[in-house]
Structure 1
Amino acid sequence: MYPQNKQRQTANVTPAQLGIIVALVFIIGFVLGNQITNIQAQTNVTLPPEFQPLQEAYNTIQDQYIEDVAIDVLVDGAITGMVEALDDQFSAYMPPEIYQDFNISMSGDMEGIGATITTDDETGEMYIVDVLPNTPAEAAGVQPGDVFVAVNGESVEDWDQTQLVTNVRGPAGTVVNITFRRGDDLIELSITRDRFEIPNVEYEVLEDDIGYISMYDFSERSRAQLDEALNILDVNNLNGLIFDLRGNPGGLLTSAIEIGSAFIEEGPILYERFSDGSEITFSADGSYAGIEVPIVVLVNQGSASASELIAGALQDTGVATIIGDVTFGKGSVQTVLGLSNGGGLRITVARWLTPNRNSIDGKGVVPDIRVPIPEDFDYQRDGDIQLQAAVEFLSQTEAAID
C-alpha cells in the first residue's frame, strides 16, 4: 500500500503561475525560495535629481487631491511602483503587516487558514493551489481549484494577492467568511483561523522496507526535523530512502545548505553568481548524516528554488536518483531588507548554479526518470504513480544488489 495523502492534491498550475504562488497559511505574502537577510536598508543616501518629479507628485497630491490620503498609503504605492518597474516576479514590496508575518513564517510557525494560492494570468482570478494537512482550511473543506469570489461579503474581483492575504489572515480564534466558486457552484465557508506549525516533515516505512520522508518547505527547523525522521526510521537498516520534495516551493537558503549537507559529505552544494560576475561557493557544512542506502528524490512542477537546489546537487554528485516531473525552474536568489516603515523589500540579487555549474533558471531540473502526470490523471483511480515508480526503482535496485 502507498500513503494516500503523500502526493499533495494540488490544482494544475503553469510555470508562470507558480512563480507568483503565495504560500498562504494566509500569512506569507510572497513566494518562498529566498535568502533572507533582515538588515535595514540604507537611509543616508541622497536621492538623485531624477527623483524630483516624485516629490512634485507627492506635493501636488497633498495640496490638490479632492480626498485626504494617508501618507503611508502613498509611500506604499510609490515603493510598489518602483519594484514593479523591475519586471521581476520574484522581487516584491511587503507592507509592514505582511512583512511581520513573513518573518514569523520563516521560523516555521503559521497563523491563518493553511492553504496556498496563485493568480490565473489570463483571468486574473485567485484560486487555491494546495491545502495543508491538519489546518483550518482542510477542516472547513477547502479544495484545490477553489476560486475566491468574496471575503467577509466583499468581492475580491479588484483585489491583488496582498489585499487578499491581508483580509483572509487574522488572529487565531477569529472567523473569516469566504465565498469560493467550485465548478459552477458557489461555496460559502466560515473558517476559524488558527496558529500552527507547518507539518513540514512526514515520514514512514513503506513496503519492501523503504523509508519515506516528505518535506513541505525549507525553514529554520527543517534540518532538525529531517534528522529526527532519519533517526526514527533507522534509515541505514532499510532498503532505500525516498525524499519527497513535490510541491515544496523552497525557503531559506541556509536551510537548504543544511539539508544538502545531510546527504552530501563534502564539496560544493551550489554557487551563487552576482551581476558583476563574482561568485560565492556554498559547500557541505560537515553535518553529513551518513546515509548508506540508495536514495530517490521525488520532484514535480511544484518543486521550486531550494527544492531544485537540493535535487540538482544530489543529481550532480550522484548521491540520489531524481524521479518525477521537470521542476519549476527558479534559479535566482533574493534578499529581504527591512525598511524604516516596518515593511520589507525583497529583491533578486544573484543566480545560483548546481555543483556542475548548471543553471536551472527557466528550465528546471530534469529527472533521471521522468514520470509526468497525465492530463486525465485521477488520483483516486490511479494512485500516486510517481511514488509507485520510486518504490519500484528502489525495490529493483535492492534486488540487483542482492
Structure 2
Amino acid sequence: MVRTFCAGFVISITLLLDSMSAQATLNIVRGRGKDMLSTVRKHVENNYFDPTYGGVDMKAAFEKAERQMAEAQSAGHTFGIIAQALTTLNDSHTFFIPPSRASTVRYGWQLAMVGNRCFITSVKPGSDAEQRGLAPGDEVLTMQGFRPDRNILWKMKYMYYVLQPQASLRFELRAPNGEMRQVEAAASIRQGKAVVDLTGREGDDYYEMLREAQAEGKLREHIYYNVGKELIIYKMPTFSVQTELIDRVIDKVREYPNLIIDLRGNQGGAVSTLERLAGYLLPRDTVIAERKGRKEEKPMKAARVGKPYDGKLAILIDSESASASELLARAVQIEGRGRVYGDRSAGSVRQSRQHEDKMGADTVFYYSVSVTNADIFMKDGKPLEHIGVQPDELILPTPTDLATHRDPVLAKAAASFGIKLSPEDAGKMFPVKWRN
C-alpha cells in the first residue's frame, strides 16, 4: 500500500530512538526540545519575509508543536516536531537543521525527478545497493512506502538525509524493461562521536569536520571539457565558491566561441557568485531579480567585471537545479542571451539566512534554522518559487538513457552550435565521483 508522505512525517520520526535520549531523562529531552522550539519560533516570527505567512496560521502550528513536545519520546521525535511545524509553510528555504549525529550515513545511490517521474540516476560501485541490483534507470515507484513526486521529494530527502537517516531504505522499482521488483538497500554508516565539541584545545573535532567538508568538495569539482576548438563545456556543481573562481573560469572559456554551462544538480549558493558570473554573461548592471522582504533589499544585478564573454551560450538544467541556478537560467532567457535545455527546474527560489544556536556549556550541541528573509521576483515581475524555469527545449532522458549513461541533453545543446556530439560520448564526460 502506498502511504501519504506528509501524514506519516512525524509518525515516522517518533520511531527514532537515538543516543541523546538514551543518555538523558525524558524530561530533559523534552525540555531541550521546548527550548529549541521556542528559539526557532522567535527566529521565524522576527525574520520571515512575510508577517502574514501567506495566510498560513503559524501561531497554531507552533502551539500544536508545543503540545506535541510534551509527549515527545526521544530527541529524534523533538526534531521531527520542530521540522513539521516549519514544513507547514511549504517554503523551500525555511527549515530546521538538528544537532549533528554520532554517525554519518551515506547512501550508495542518487535519485531525482525526470519530468514527473522519479528515477535512480546513479549507483555507487561496490555498494550494497549495487549488489542488491539497484541500477540507474530504475523508476522509483515508492521509497519507504511513499510515492515520490515533485511536490514531496524534497521533503523525503530532508527527512531521510537530514532528520532521520536510515540504515537502509526500501524501494519498489520498475526497470527500463518494465520488470517490477522490490529492493532494500543498506547505507554505509561511519561511526563518529556522539557530540562534536569545538571548544577543546587540540581542535581534533574541528579538523575532522574540515576533512569531511573537503571530502564532500571532491564530489563537486568544477570541470571543463572542450570539444575541439569550437566548444567548451563548464560543469558548475555549486555557486558556493569564491568569486575569484568565476574569474578563472571565464579566463579558461574565453577563447572558445561556444559555451555550455551545465547547471544540472546545482542547488545554488552565494548571491555574490551568481552576480559575478552574470556580469560576464549579461550586459553590465542588468537586473537579475528583485528581492522583497520586511526590509528594503537591493536588487540582484550582474556585477561590473572586466572583459565579458561574448560567445554563444547554452544553459543546461534539470529538476535538481535550484536557487541561483534557476535565477541565472531565467535571466539568460529574459535577456535573450542564450537558450536553456533540459528539464523544468526545482522551483526553489527564495533568499534565506541561517540562524545558529547552541545548547549546553562545556559540551555544546549546535542546531540552526534557515529562515526565508526575502521573496524573489524576476525582471519580468514573476516569481520562480514552486514554479521553476521552463527550458526553451524540454529534453527528458529515457530510462534506457539513464541505464546506459547516455546524455541526450548535452548532445542536443552541442548540436545547436552545429557541433556533433553523440549522447554516448556526452554521457562519458562528467561521471559521478563518489566519496570513499
Q: Same fold (TM over 0.5)?
A: yes
Contact 1:148/1:181 (<8 A) preserved: yes
Q: Which residue of 2 aligns with 1:104?
A: none
Q: Which residue of 2 aligns with 1:395?
A: 418
1:321 & 1:271 partners in 2: Cα distance?
19
Matched, 1:287 2:305: yes
Contact 1:131/1:137 (<8 A) preserved: no
Q: Which residue of 2 aligns with 1:196?
A: 216
Q: Which residue of 2 aligns with 1:96?
A: 99
Q: Which residue of 2 aligns with 1:212?
A: 233
Q: TM-score, normalised by structure 2?
A: 0.56
User: Residue 270 of structure 2 is aligned with which of 238, 252, 269?
Assistant: 252
Aligned partner letter, 1:344: S
2:384 & 2:406 partners in 1: Cα distance?
29
Q: Counterparts in 2 of 1:260-271, with a 5 A limit?
A: 260-271=278-289
Q: Which runs of 5+ in 2 are unaligned?
A: 1-5, 7-38, 47-58, 146-154, 174-180, 191-211, 360-365, 420-436
User: After the TM superposition, which of the residue ranges 342-351 and 273-282 deviates more from structure 2?
Assistant: 273-282
Contact 1:270/1:282 (<8 A) preserved: yes
SS in structure 1 of the partner of residue 311 of structure 2: coil
SS in structure 2 of the partner of residue 314 of structure 1: helix
Please list the CA deviations of residues 284-327 of structure 1 after superposition, one character each: whole Å capped at 9, or x if unmatched: 23235621321111223332221110111222233333233333
Offset of 1:83 from its aligned partner?
1.6
Distance 1:360 1:285, change over 3 A: same
1:228 & 1:322 partners in 2: Cα distance?
23
Contact 2:112/2:319 (<8 A) preserved: no
Offset of 1:113 from its aligned partner?
5.1
Q: Counterparts in 2 of 1:247-396, with a 5 A limit?
A: 247-275=265-293, 278-288=296-306, 290-341=308-359, 342-368=366-392, 370-373=393-396, 378-379=401-402, 383-395=406-418
Q: Counterparts in 2 of 1:51-66, with a 5 A limit?
A: 57=67, 61=70
Q: Counterparts in 2 of 1:112-191, with a 5 A limit?
A: 112=106, 116=110, 130-131=121-122, 143-144=135-136, 145=138, 161=157, 164-165=160-161, 178=168, 181=171, 183=173, 184-186=181-183, 188-189=185-186, 191=188
Aligned partner letter, 2:257: N
Contact 2:93/2:371 (<8 A) preserved: yes
1:84 & 1:313 partners in 2: Cα distance?
29
Distance 1:130 1:278, change over 3 A: farther
Please list the CA deviations of residues 253-289 of structure 1 after superposition, one character each: whole Å capped at 9, or x if unmatched: 3332233233235113433332569552122232356
2:68 & 2:162 partners in 1: Cα distance?
26
Question: What is the aligned-residue RMSD (CA, Å)?
Answer: 4.8
SS in structure 2 of the partner of residue 241 of structure 1: strand
User: After the TM superposition, which of the residue ranges 355-364 and 49-58 deviates more from structure 2?
Assistant: 49-58
1:386 & 1:52 partners in 2: Cα distance?
44
1:209 & 1:219 partners in 2: Cα distance?
29
Offset of 1:241 from its aligned partner?
0.8
Please list the CA deviations of residues 101-146 of structure 1 after superposition, one character each: whole Å capped at 9, or x if unmatched: 9xxxxxxxx9945755579xx9xxxx87554989979998864557
Distance 1:190 1:300, change over 3 A: closer
Contact 2:230/2:256 (<8 A) preserved: yes
Contact 1:332/1:350 (<8 A) preserved: yes
Distance 1:239 1:275, change over 3 A: closer
Distance 1:84 1:226, change over 3 A: same
2:283 & 2:100 partners in 1: Cα distance?
41
Aligned partner letter, 1:331: V
Q: Which residue of 1 aligns with 2:22?
A: none
Q: TM-score, normalised by structure 1?
A: 0.60
Contact 2:397/2:408 (<8 A) preserved: no
